[in-house]
Amino acid sequence: MFFRQYYLGCLSHASYLIGDESTGHAVVVDPQRDVAQYLDDARDHGLTIERVIETHFHADFVSGHLELRDATGAVISYGPGAVTEFPIDTLRHDQRLALGEVELEIRHTPGHTPESICIVVREHAGDETPYGVLTGDTLFIGDVGRPDLLASTGVTADQLGRLLYRSLRDQLLTLPDATRVFPAHGAGSACGKQLSTETVSTIGEQRRSNYALADLSEVDFVAQVTADQPAAPPYFPFNAARNRQVRDALAEHDLPTPLDWQTVVEHCANGAVVIDTRDHVDFAHGHLRGSRNVGLGGRFAEYSGDVVDPTTPIILVTDPGSELEARVRLGRIGFDRVVGYLDRWPEVFTAHPDSIATSSRLTATELNGRDRAHLQIVDVRNPGETRLGAIPGARLIPIAQLTARVRELDAHIPTVVYCAGGYRSSLAASVLEAHQFADVSDLLGGFEAWGGAGGDIVTTNAV
């Protein structure tokens, strides 16, 4: 058996290539949209990718099933009830797929979504203990898939939570303890609240340590798995829809178009948004007015999706040589309207100083010395993070909700934004600046620096 996990840290996403080297038959499970790595590995190991299996309709990224189909002719498969604009071979509960000696068993595990499946992998058909189980977003390491993401479609979190409770106990916990667990996501994903940094576990380890697999009633299970979930990024419904649709393939090797200053000005006048991918320190020293700072060094695609609409044209400002990376990473979440990048931006910044702004940044000591009664303090962390405490008087608006809730804030009051360490607060401050807030600063080092400097902390936060 050939088995490989591909882990994409910036989206906390795991995908898989599984093949039988005696026959050359292979499948890819939950692929990312740029698919060259699967094609390269299949070629190098004498495998033919014949099927792409999606464990469910992903909301956090646009999957590469169409790209792989176009490149290999592979069949695309989803679980029971899935409806798409393109042809699929629907998989049934208990169906066995033989790749040769290697066998895949499909288990329908609704809960995170109605069509969710898990895939039991056996090196040899009939093995009593499977090699592993690909659990998609049904079971994570340390957590389970959140059941509340489809509320907008009329399926309630309670309904899906009850299905998830049964799927876990009837379909996954019935597997031998030695069965390896290979999830679709790890720590940092918004598809759960306390995912582990580990990328593989076992059924036995999860039975013992995963809070959601404890001896809970169905009601208590639903209450626990729906509490304190991170704010769902606003692009999630767009991605879930895109994964059902016919769309253009991602041209993962094509550089974006270089743009001169006048062209950028014209595009911005027509509604384009500038995403500046540089480090927040460099951004603070000078940037185009109205641009959003989403550093490539972090969860670039996810946070871009938090503050920019997927239908909005995008212009990039990047460190030289990073233009393609930025475009591909945006493409992974379906943000395909990248017009191009500002060419020779250092020269442009020098030539057009009236269009350049700098950022105000406060140290924890400076903020502690200010009269906070006359400040508007905004905490852009997620609810689970604020359990660690918050700055007294801070308003909790998670970064994923900031654009939608910006009118709840007063643009005329001096505003200080903070997160855990400083990455999200620079982005949040740039969003508020773009919305014409007169005086915005972000807290250097975030809440960690505030606590380290002895700042006062409250255990609850006014929302």
Q: Helix (H, G, I), strand (E, B), or coil: what is residue 212?
A: helix
Residue 152 pLDDT greater than 60, yes or no: no
Are the C-beta atoms of 380 and 423 separated by less than 8 Å?
Answer: no
Q: Helix (H, G, I), strand (E, B), or coil: what is residue 129?
A: coil
The whole-number average pLDDT for the span 311-340 is: 98
Looking at the DSSP assignment, which residues form a beta bridge with residue 97? 104
What secondary structure does DSSP assign to 383-436, as a single string? HHHHTT-B-TT-EE--GGGHHHHGGGS-TTS-EEEE-SSSHHHHHHHHHHHHTT
Please compute Rg for the chain using Cα positions.
23
Domains and CATH numbers, the chain: 2-242 (3.60.15.10), 258-357 (3.40.250.10), 360-452 (3.40.250.10)
The C-alpha atoms of residue 351 and residue 203 are separated, in whole angstroms, by 61
pLDDT at residue number 328:
98
CB atoms closer than 10 angstroms to residue 262: 8
Number of Cα atoms under 13 Å in the Cβ half of residue 123 = 8
The whole-number average pLDDT for the span 10-32 is: 98
Closest CA to 420 of 386, 397, 461, 459: 386
Average pLDDT, the chain: 95
The C-alpha atoms of residue 89 and residue 138 are separated, in whole angstroms, by 21
The whole-number average pLDDT for the span 119-138 is: 97
What secondary structure does DSSP assign to 6-47, as a single string? EEEGGGTEEEEEEE-TTT-EEEEES--S--HHHHHHHHHTT-
How far the first Cα of the chain sits from its last, in Å, is 52
Residue 463 pLDDT greater than 80, yes or no: no
The whole-number average pLDDT for the span 183-196 is: 91
Handedness of CA 399, 401, 407, 409 (dihedral sign): negative
pLDDT at residue number 153:
64
pLDDT (tens digit, 9 = 90+) per residue, 357-374?
999 999 999 999 999 989
The C-alpha atoms of residue 244 and residue 141 are separated, in whole angstroms, by 27
3-state helix, strand and coil shares in percent for the chain, rounded to the nearest 5: 30, 20, 45
Residue 224 pLDDT greater than 60, yes or no: yes
pLDDT (tens digit, 9 = 90+) per residue, 86-126?
999 999 999 999 999 999 999 999 999 999 999 999 999 99
The C-alpha atoms of residue 449 and residue 422 are separated, in whole angstroms, by 9
Confidence of residue 460 (pLDDT cuts 50, 70, 90): low
pLDDT (tens digit, 9 = 90+) per residue, 24-77?
999 999 999 999 999 999 999 999 999 999 999 999 999 999 999 999 999 999
Q: Is 39 exposed, middle or buried (0-12, 13-18, 19+ CB in 10 A)?
A: middle
Q: Helix (H, G, I), strand (E, B), or coil: what is residue 358?
A: coil
The C-alpha atoms of residue 67 and residue 33 are separated, in whole angstroms, by 7
The C-alpha atoms of residue 263 and residue 260 are separated, in whole angstroms, by 5
Q: Helix (H, G, I), strand (E, B), or coil: what is residue 181?
A: strand
